[in-house]
Structure 1
Amino acid sequence: MSRQNSSDHVSSIIYNQNNSSYTSTLQAYIRNQRFNKTDTPKPIIIVTPLHETHVQSTVICSKNMGMNLRIRSGGHDFEGLSYVSYTATFVLLDMSNIRTIDVNIDEETANVQVGATIGELYYRIWEKSKIHAFPAGVCPTVGVGGHISGGGYGVLLRKYGLTVDNVIDATIVDAKGRVMDRKSMGEDLFWAIRGGGGASFGVIVSYKLQLVRVPEVVSVFRVSKTLEVENATDIINRWQYVADKIDRDLFIRLNVKPDNTKSTIHASFTAFFLGDSDSLVSVMNAGFPELGIQKTDCKEMSWIKSELFWSSSEKNSEEVLLKRTFSPKFAKRKSDYLQTPIPRNGLESILQKMLELKVVELVFNPYGGRMSEIQDWETPFPHRAGNIFKIEYSVNWHQNGSEIEAYYVNQTRLLYDFMTPFVSKNPRGAYMNYRDLDIGTSRVGNNTYVDGKVYGEKYFKRNFDRLVKVKRMVDPTNLFTNEQSIPL
């Protein structure tokens, strides 16, 4: 790739496979070790741009050379599509050095480049204000770029909606190498990159975010129940009926996990509340007394400390949010949406199946509140009113080996299949940021076939057709493509 001019120093941020820093640069943001093997397809070139002109050069050169382009911000892509291509020779555009954050408290906005992490964003907001926040995820090492462009959510979603619901501008480099903001890109493209996946349409460089207000004191709790001793089945069942209807200042995540050592199920209820602990106990007593929350179960803290609580690091200082290191693991994720509560006998059968399978955890994230007020067409993310909660199928392991991987991945598929009668239908919904190559992919012999309409309608429902129209308009040569991008 050629440099645009001598001041760009393009050669210093390009790594080919013979470069001594190639491997460390590639592996620095591979979060899922399933895609860090000797036989994993590797990019022929890695570009680590320092500013927009480097991004423009990379886009133009990739297009001229007929190279597939993969775009990575934080590397938390569960299927590795931001840094692996199975169909073409490819270039990796690693955005991790483009990570400036500018917080303007007077305007209550933040401009954040896509290589920043969520933790860095939270820290920079906290530096400027103790009563402002942003509705994003609870894993601090996730890159802003992928998190926002695929929807994004966190503990504030019942109060303020999704991450994309609070994006007010963006900067993107399109397939012609042009740098555009919301005004110059137009409302169709701006709509598409707020939940439709930025990597299908261009290279997003930055977002302008609308900050939200939070009280100086928020409250949290985490309590666990088991099947035999504390009758977790009854409490899980009740959670289904209240979690999306309770005070929108309250978010209660439910983790359901098998305990193989004791042949039981642990149901962990983790809550975030925009208020003090007395108010939280009052809300719980009125709306969810079955959980039996008392003031001694609750902790009061600042919003920034609550983010540390969710990652089990509240004993650390706020500076831990600036750490970009991550313990790599092998992982598989799937997702579903629930629109009617699971009958109690169905719930019992699911818990029994989880005990049988032994390794798959279910994470239930409640909707309702603000999520039910935003129309399903306002952003590409369609899973709004009518959904009680989202299910994440989660399995992690720490040993390499094809047989080990096949076992764990198959366990998620078995539970996913078992859940079919209980989840959304026509289509069965899925969350794009929990990327899942099982969706829309079929294998016949040694050939793999991908049906974009299948995964497109599961991720985006009726918004899929509009996303295809935007794709054809802004990227007619399909420069920005991956195994689950928006097809032409």
Structure 2
Amino acid sequence: MAASRKTALALAFFCFLCCNAFLPTSASSDSFLQCLSSMMPSGLVFQQSSSSFVSVLQSSVQNPKFVTNTTVRPLCIITASDVSHVQAAVRCGRWNGVRLRMRSGGHDYEGLSYRSVQPEVFAVLDLAKLRGVHVIPGEDSAWVDAGTTLGELYYAVGTTNPGFLFPGGACATVGVSGFISGGGIGLMMRKYGVGGDNVVDAKIVNANGDVLDRAGMGEDLFWAIRGGGGESFGVVVAWRVKLSKVPPTVTVVNTIKTLEQGAADVLAKWETIILQPAFVPDLTVRVVLQVRQAFFQTLFLGGCSDLVTTLHNVFPELGVTAADCNEMSWLRAMTFIYFGRTDVPAEALLNRTNNLGNYFKSKSDYVRRPVGKATWESLYQQWLSRNGGGQMILEPHGAAVGGANTLTNSPYPHRRGVLYNIQYGSNWCCDANGTNAAAALGWLNGLYGFMQPFVSSNPREAFANYRDLDLGQNVVGQDGVSSFWSGRVWAQRYFMGNYWRLAAVKSMVDPSDYFRNEQSIPPFR
């Protein structure tokens, strides 16, 4: 009886801590570190005093802009190698007033997964060691650990289940968890939907440190994490993704048109034909604009002859012939799209090594009506021709993401009526805030301003995976909770009408706003 009573009291006290731990506290950073050391191997925690701290911090940083001394750095980095380590990190953080920022692939455009804009005590929970893809041949789903990259997922599916695909993006080093959490636009989204649409189950560590699957978390939270900014609600440790069938042979074609060769004319035709019923969902043509060129990247779920016939009928201006075709498996196609060469082995997709090269800044837009030839010509002459480090990437939506082939019920809102997404990027070397940075950012902001009349408005839509702090940041009240109303400024650009529902979910699962950053979903209050 006495033992049972002690157990009951201990459980009650633990529940009290979980529900009330993140009140204002004077608990020191030392108590947080001591808690971690008592609950996980010490070799997984790297403090600022560690000789390996900087190398671990930079291990998946993609933008050197955020590794300077002007960046607020974490108290420590927790390199979890087991779900129990994630649970321990959350519980220790709640008990001791230390927030966590979660990192998987490190492609967060504002670096909020490993840095803070404002001074605060926080730790990075690095999920890179939690990686693996569990595929069973012939099955149309796979469990993917949160630290897995898209390249690792493509390789595992392509080698174990070659008749299937996951409709991800072109960049192989992007983390699967970040990709899905922000929605995840991909190469075949017109047919299969965005990444969040292709998740059938997940496992999340919530603010109490409990592990929940879809049944345990409920449909509201399951909806929210598949595109509503998963780091706002907990730590997703695994995703069960839907796999779709793919033919043995797909075809990839790369075509370059210069301004002198009529790039503006071809672009004007491209943005109209992606709406046509004849533009089959098995075909996607994405475009990269740089200097005086337009690079058209065509992917077709089928053979060369069918592709050439289709393009001849609906897009003859592209000028594709059989000699331009690269027929290959889906896995080889994803390798070719990322590396741009046919001789790179598929195993190269497993390379996670980052390259801290140029600094960069990105912004995004959505286009709902054709821009037209005259605007494209003006854009080239006034902007792209003047910055060799600037580019625009156009991802076709075709006004109907997912079509009839997927349940398009994730929080990604830019699916009906959108022609394409624009990602603007500006690269520079070799200073974070000097003359080169000012010129590159001035160019980017000027281009963004130039495009305002031609893109969506009220709100001017933006893509959550291309995080942009220029759109606004959360304002934290005296109670330590982010303001719902200040969050509207940026969140309605990413999530539109879904922001209200996301905030309601946040109120249910994390009312104290423990999982918080400068652009996390605030509780509705």
CA contact (8 A) 1:339 1:423 kept: yes
Q: Which residue identity is paired with 1:251?
A: T
What is the aligned partner in structure 2 of residue 352 from structure 1?
A: 381
What is the aligned partner in structure 2 of residue 428 from structure 1?
A: 460
Q: Which residue identity is paired with 1:250?
A: L
The match for 1:410 among 437, 442, 465 is 442
What is the aligned partner in structure 1 of residue 494 from structure 2?
A: 459
CA contact (8 A) 1:244 1:389 kept: no
Q: Give per-residue Cα distances to partners, 1:183-208, cap 9 Å, x unaligned.
A: 00000000000000111000010000
SS in 1 for 2:497: helix
The match for 1:338 among 353, 359, 367 is 367
SS in 1 for 2:100: strand
The match for 2:67 among 8, 33, 36 is 36
Q: Give per-residue Cα distances to partners, 1:67-87, cap 9 Å, x unaligned.
A: 121100010111101001122
What is the aligned partner in structure 2 of residue 77 from structure 1?
A: 108
Q: Distance in 1 between matches of 2:289 and 2:147?
A: 33
1:22 correspondence with 2:53 = yes
Q: Which has the larger Rg?
A: 2
Q: Distance in 1 between matches of 2:397 and 2:230?
A: 24
1:395 correspondence with 2:430 = no
Q: Distance in 2 between matches of 1:365 and 1:5?
A: 46
Which deviates more from structure 2 when the two are superposed, residues 355-364 or residues 418-427? 355-364
What is the aligned partner in structure 2 of residue 261 from structure 1?
A: none
Q: Which residue identity is paired with 1:364?
A: L
Structural mapping, 1:286-365, within 5 Å? 286-311=313-338, 312-329=340-357, 330-355=359-384, 357-358=386-387, 359-365=389-395
Structural mapping, 1:102-113, within 5 Å? 102-113=134-145
1:128 correspondence with 2:160 = yes
CA contact (8 A) 1:367 1:387 kept: yes
The match for 2:193 among 155, 158, 161 is 161
What is the aligned partner in structure 2 of residue 254 from structure 1?
A: 287
Q: Give per-residue Cα distances to partners, 1:207-247, cap 9 Å, x unaligned.
A: 0011111111100111111112x111111111110134311
CA contact (8 A) 1:219 1:300 kept: yes
What is the aligned partner in structure 2 of residue 206 from structure 1?
A: 238
Moved over 6 A (4+): 374-377
Structural mapping, 1:163-202, within 5 Å? 163-202=195-234
Q: Which residue identity is paired with 1:133?
A: L
TM-score normalised by structure 2 residue count:
0.87
1:425–1:372 distance in 2 versus 1, CA, 3 Å:
farther
SS in 2 for 1:20: coil
1:324–1:336 distance in 2 versus 1, CA, 3 Å:
same
Q: Distance in 2 between matches of 1:364 and 1:41?
A: 33
What is the aligned partner in structure 2 of residue 486 from structure 1?
A: 521
Tell me by how many angstroms 1:407 deviates. 2.1
CA contact (8 A) 1:248 1:370 kept: no
Q: Distance in 1 between matches of 2:400 and 2:330?
A: 19
What is the aligned partner in structure 2 of residue 472 from structure 1?
A: 507
Q: Distance in 1 between matches of 2:346 and 2:257?
A: 30
Q: Distance in 2 between matches of 1:410 and 1:440?
A: 18
SS in 1 for 2:312: helix
Which deviates more from structure 2 when the two are superposed, residues 338-347 or residues 195-204? 338-347
Q: Which residue identity is paired with 2:515?
A: F
What root-mean-square deviation, in Å, do the aligned CA atoms of Structure 1 and Structure 2 show? Answer: 2.0
Q: Which residue identity is paired with 1:315?
A: D
Q: Distance in 2 between matches of 1:441 and 1:483?
A: 5
Q: Give per-residue Cα distances to partners, 1:344-378, cap 9 Å, x unaligned.
A: 32232222222464242111111127606479982
Calculate percent identity across the aligned residue pairs: 42
Q: Distance in 2 between matches of 1:373 and 1:386?
A: 12
SS in 1 for 2:60: coil
Q: Distance in 1 between matches of 2:522 and 2:325?
A: 48
CA contact (8 A) 1:136 1:154 kept: yes
Q: Distance in 2 between matches of 1:107 and 1:279?
A: 28
SS in 2 for 1:321: helix
1:237 correspondence with 2:264 = no
Q: Give per-residue Cα distances to partners, 1:143-184, cap 9 Å, x unaligned.
A: 111111111122121221111111000000011111100000
Tell me by how many angstroms 1:313 deviates. 4.0
What is the aligned partner in structure 2 of residue 270 from structure 1?
A: 297
> 5+ unaligned residues in a row in structure 2: which ranges?
1-32, 476-482
SS in 2 for 1:56: helix
